[in-house]
Protein backbone atom coordinates (compact mmCIF):
# COMPACT_ATOMS: atom_id res chain seq x y z
CA UNK A 1 0.00 0.00 0.00
CA UNK A 2 1.34 3.43 -0.94
CA UNK A 3 2.25 5.56 2.05
CA UNK A 4 1.18 9.18 2.35
CA UNK A 5 3.77 11.76 3.38
CA UNK A 6 2.89 15.32 4.36
CA UNK A 7 5.80 17.53 3.33
CA UNK A 8 5.95 20.78 5.29
CA UNK A 9 8.46 23.20 3.83
CA UNK A 10 9.63 26.77 3.83
CA UNK A 11 10.26 28.01 0.30
CA UNK A 12 13.15 30.08 1.68
CA UNK A 13 14.88 27.49 3.87
CA UNK A 14 18.42 26.44 2.93
CA UNK A 15 17.90 23.17 4.79
CA UNK A 16 14.78 22.48 2.75
CA UNK A 17 16.82 23.18 -0.38
CA UNK A 18 19.59 20.79 0.65
CA UNK A 19 17.07 17.98 1.06
CA UNK A 20 14.77 18.81 -1.83
CA UNK A 21 16.26 16.84 -4.73
CA UNK A 22 16.91 13.81 -2.54
CA UNK A 23 13.32 13.85 -1.36
CA UNK A 24 12.01 14.11 -4.93
CA UNK A 25 14.11 11.07 -5.86
CA UNK A 26 12.81 9.23 -2.79
CA UNK A 27 9.20 9.87 -3.76
CA UNK A 28 9.88 8.32 -7.15
CA UNK A 29 11.67 5.30 -5.65
CA UNK A 30 9.06 4.55 -3.02
CA UNK A 31 5.96 5.57 -5.01
CA UNK A 32 4.81 7.56 -1.98
CA UNK A 33 1.84 9.90 -2.17
CA UNK A 34 3.04 13.37 -1.21
CA UNK A 35 1.12 16.40 0.04
CA UNK A 36 3.28 19.46 -0.63
CA UNK A 37 2.54 22.06 2.04
CA UNK A 38 4.45 25.35 2.03
CA UNK A 39 4.27 27.08 5.40
CA UNK A 40 3.92 30.55 6.81
CA UNK A 41 7.21 29.94 8.56
CA UNK A 42 7.12 33.09 10.69
CA UNK A 43 3.77 32.02 12.10
CA UNK A 44 5.03 28.49 12.68
CA UNK A 45 8.05 29.78 14.60
CA UNK A 46 5.85 32.03 16.72
CA UNK A 47 3.59 29.08 17.56
CA UNK A 48 6.47 26.74 18.41
CA UNK A 49 8.82 29.02 20.33
CA UNK A 50 11.39 29.44 17.58
CA UNK A 51 13.15 32.58 16.37
CA UNK A 52 13.72 33.80 12.81
CA UNK A 53 17.32 33.67 11.64
CA UNK A 54 17.84 37.43 11.94
CA UNK A 55 16.75 37.37 15.60
CA UNK A 56 18.98 34.52 16.74
CA UNK A 57 22.06 35.01 18.86
CA UNK A 58 25.38 35.63 17.15
CA UNK A 59 26.60 32.22 18.32
CA UNK A 60 23.66 30.37 16.77
CA UNK A 61 23.73 32.40 13.57
CA UNK A 62 27.45 31.85 13.01
CA UNK A 63 27.19 28.12 13.70
CA UNK A 64 24.32 27.84 11.23
CA UNK A 65 26.59 29.21 8.52
CA UNK A 66 29.35 26.75 9.44
CA UNK A 67 26.94 23.83 9.38
CA UNK A 68 25.39 24.91 6.08
CA UNK A 69 28.86 24.99 4.52
CA UNK A 70 29.62 21.53 5.87
CA UNK A 71 26.43 20.05 4.46
CA UNK A 72 26.78 21.90 1.16
CA UNK A 73 30.25 20.44 0.72
CA UNK A 74 29.30 16.96 1.97
CA UNK A 75 26.36 16.75 -0.44
CA UNK A 76 28.09 18.49 -3.33
CA UNK A 77 25.19 20.90 -3.79
CA UNK A 78 26.13 24.47 -4.79
CA UNK A 79 24.65 26.88 -2.26
CA UNK A 80 25.34 30.55 -1.58
CA UNK A 81 25.79 31.09 2.14
CA UNK A 82 24.73 34.73 1.88
CA UNK A 83 22.30 35.01 -1.03
CA UNK A 84 21.40 38.48 -2.24
CA UNK A 85 17.68 38.19 -1.43
CA UNK A 86 17.56 36.64 2.02
CA UNK A 87 15.71 36.96 4.33
CA UNK A 88 12.79 37.23 1.93
CA UNK A 89 9.00 37.38 1.98
CA UNK A 90 7.93 33.74 1.55
CA UNK A 91 4.30 34.38 0.73
CA UNK A 92 4.49 34.88 -3.08
CA UNK A 93 6.67 31.80 -3.62
CA UNK A 94 4.54 29.75 -1.25
CA UNK A 95 1.36 30.74 -3.05
CA UNK A 96 2.92 29.77 -6.40
CA UNK A 97 3.59 26.28 -5.05
CA UNK A 98 0.07 26.05 -3.61
CA UNK A 99 -1.34 27.12 -6.98
CA UNK A 100 0.72 24.43 -8.72
CA UNK A 101 -0.61 21.79 -6.33
CA UNK A 102 -4.19 22.88 -6.98
CA UNK A 103 -3.91 23.19 -10.76
CA UNK A 104 -1.31 20.59 -11.71
CA UNK A 105 -1.02 18.16 -8.83
CA UNK A 106 1.39 17.40 -6.02
CA UNK A 107 4.32 16.21 -8.13
CA UNK A 108 4.27 19.45 -10.10
CA UNK A 109 4.20 21.38 -6.83
CA UNK A 110 7.17 19.35 -5.63
CA UNK A 111 9.19 20.21 -8.74
CA UNK A 112 8.22 23.88 -8.56
CA UNK A 113 9.12 24.11 -4.88
CA UNK A 114 12.62 22.93 -5.74
CA UNK A 115 12.90 25.50 -8.52
CA UNK A 116 11.86 28.29 -6.12
CA UNK A 117 14.41 27.15 -3.53
CA UNK A 118 17.13 26.92 -6.16
CA UNK A 119 16.29 30.47 -7.29
CA UNK A 120 17.28 31.82 -3.86
CA UNK A 121 20.18 29.58 -2.91
CA UNK A 122 21.94 29.18 -6.25
CA UNK A 123 20.72 31.97 -8.52
CA UNK A 124 20.41 35.02 -6.22
CA UNK A 125 16.82 35.59 -7.36
CA UNK A 126 14.10 37.45 -5.46
CA UNK A 127 11.20 35.07 -4.89
CA UNK A 128 9.11 37.88 -3.41
CA UNK A 129 8.91 39.34 -6.93
CA UNK A 130 6.07 38.04 -9.11
CA UNK A 131 7.82 38.52 -12.49
CA UNK A 132 10.80 36.61 -11.09
CA UNK A 133 8.51 33.78 -10.01
CA UNK A 134 6.91 33.69 -13.46
CA UNK A 135 10.39 33.25 -14.95
CA UNK A 136 11.37 30.61 -12.39
CA UNK A 137 8.23 28.60 -13.13
CA UNK A 138 8.70 28.94 -16.88
CA UNK A 139 12.29 27.72 -16.66
CA UNK A 140 11.02 24.71 -14.70
CA UNK A 141 8.65 23.85 -17.55
CA UNK A 142 5.42 25.41 -16.28
CA UNK A 143 3.14 28.19 -17.51
CA UNK A 144 4.51 30.77 -15.12
CA UNK A 145 1.98 33.49 -15.88
CA UNK A 146 -0.98 31.17 -15.39
CA UNK A 147 0.42 29.99 -12.06
CA UNK A 148 1.15 33.53 -10.90
CA UNK A 149 -2.37 34.62 -11.83
CA UNK A 150 -3.81 31.69 -9.90
CA UNK A 151 -1.48 32.29 -6.94
CA UNK A 152 -2.71 35.87 -6.63
CA UNK A 153 -6.34 34.81 -6.91
CA UNK A 154 -8.93 34.13 -4.23
CA UNK A 155 -8.28 31.34 -1.81
CA UNK A 156 -4.53 30.88 -2.20
CA UNK A 157 -3.53 32.87 0.89
CA UNK A 158 -6.12 30.95 2.90
CA UNK A 159 -4.84 27.62 1.56
CA UNK A 160 -1.31 28.61 2.61
CA UNK A 161 -2.54 29.39 6.10
CA UNK A 162 -4.43 26.08 6.26
CA UNK A 163 -1.14 24.32 5.55
CA UNK A 164 0.31 26.13 8.54
CA UNK A 165 -2.68 25.23 10.72
CA UNK A 166 -2.20 21.55 9.87
CA UNK A 167 1.52 21.76 10.55
CA UNK A 168 0.97 23.28 13.99
CA UNK A 169 -1.63 20.61 14.78
CA UNK A 170 0.84 17.90 13.70
CA UNK A 171 3.55 19.22 16.04
CA UNK A 172 5.76 20.66 13.32
CA UNK A 173 8.25 23.29 14.50
CA UNK A 174 10.82 23.54 11.70
CA UNK A 175 11.39 22.96 8.02
CA UNK A 176 11.68 20.69 6.28
CA UNK A 177 9.45 18.30 8.19
CA UNK A 178 7.81 15.17 6.82
CA UNK A 179 4.94 13.42 8.60
CA UNK A 180 4.04 9.80 7.82
CA UNK A 181 1.32 8.03 9.80
CA UNK A 182 1.68 10.61 12.56
CA UNK A 183 5.47 10.20 12.84
CA UNK A 184 7.56 13.35 12.31
CA UNK A 185 10.91 13.57 10.55
CA UNK A 186 12.53 16.98 10.91
CA UNK A 187 15.53 18.06 8.89
CA UNK A 188 17.25 17.07 5.67
CA UNK A 189 19.59 14.87 7.73
CA UNK A 190 16.62 12.63 8.65
CA UNK A 191 15.87 11.54 5.09
CA UNK A 192 17.33 8.07 5.67
CA UNK A 193 14.87 7.49 8.49
CA UNK A 194 12.06 8.81 6.32
CA UNK A 195 12.91 6.39 3.51
CA UNK A 196 12.93 3.48 5.95
CA UNK A 197 9.44 4.49 7.05
CA UNK A 198 8.19 4.84 3.48
CA UNK A 199 9.64 1.43 2.59
CA UNK A 200 7.91 -0.44 5.41
CA UNK A 201 5.41 -3.09 4.33
DSSP 123-166: T---TT-HHHHHHHHHHTTS-HHHHHHHHTSTTHHHHHHHHHHH
pLDDT > 90? residue 55: no
> Which residues have CB under 8 Å from 97's CB, separation 6+?
11, 36, 38, 109, 112, 113, 116
pLDDT (0 to 100) of residue 54: 79
pLDDT tens by residue, 89-129: 999 999 999 999 999 999 999 999 999 999 999 999 999 99
Sorting pLDDT into bands at 50, 70 and 90, what band is 201?
confident
Q: For residues 10 and 174, give the distance between their C-alpha atoms in angstroms, rounded to a whole number.
A: 9
- Residue 19 CB coordination number (10 Å): 27
Q: For residues 11 and 182, give the distance between their C-alpha atoms in angstroms, rounded to a whole number.
A: 23
pLDDT tens by residue, 132-190: 999 999 999 999 999 999 999 989 999 999 999 999 999 999 999 999 999 999 999 99
- Mean pLDDT to the nearest integer, 54-82: 95
> Within a 13 Å sphere around the CA of 27, how many CA atoms are in the beta-carbon half?
22
pLDDT (0 to 100) of residue 100: 99
pLDDT (0 to 100) of residue 53: 73
> Which residues have CB under 8 Å from 149's CB, separation 6+?
none
CA 147 to chain centre: 17
pLDDT (0 to 100) of residue 51: 79
- Are 78 and 122 a contacting pair, CB within 8 Å? yes
- Are 185 and 176 a contacting pair, CB within 8 Å? no
Phi/psi class of residue 28: alpha, beta or left (left: φ > 0; alpha: ψ in -120 to 50)? alpha
Dihedrals phi, psi of 99, to nearest 5 degrees: -60, -40
Q: Which residue has the higher pLDDT, 201 or 13?
A: 13
Sorting pLDDT into bands at 50, 70 and 90, what band is 72?
very high
Eight-class DSSP state of 186: E
Structural domains of the chain in order of their starting residue, each with its CATH number:
4-199 (3.40.30.10)
Q: Helix, strand or coil for residue 32?
A: coil
pLDDT (0 to 100) of residue 27: 98
pLDDT > 80? residue 60: yes
- Are 96 and 89 a contacting pair, CB within 8 Å? no
Amino acid sequence: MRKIVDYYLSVASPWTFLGSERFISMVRRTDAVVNVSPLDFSRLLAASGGLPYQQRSAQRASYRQVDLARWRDRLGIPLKLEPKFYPVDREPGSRMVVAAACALGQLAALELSHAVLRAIWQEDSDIANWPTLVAVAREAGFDGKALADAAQGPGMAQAWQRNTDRAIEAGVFGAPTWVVEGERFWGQDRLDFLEEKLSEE
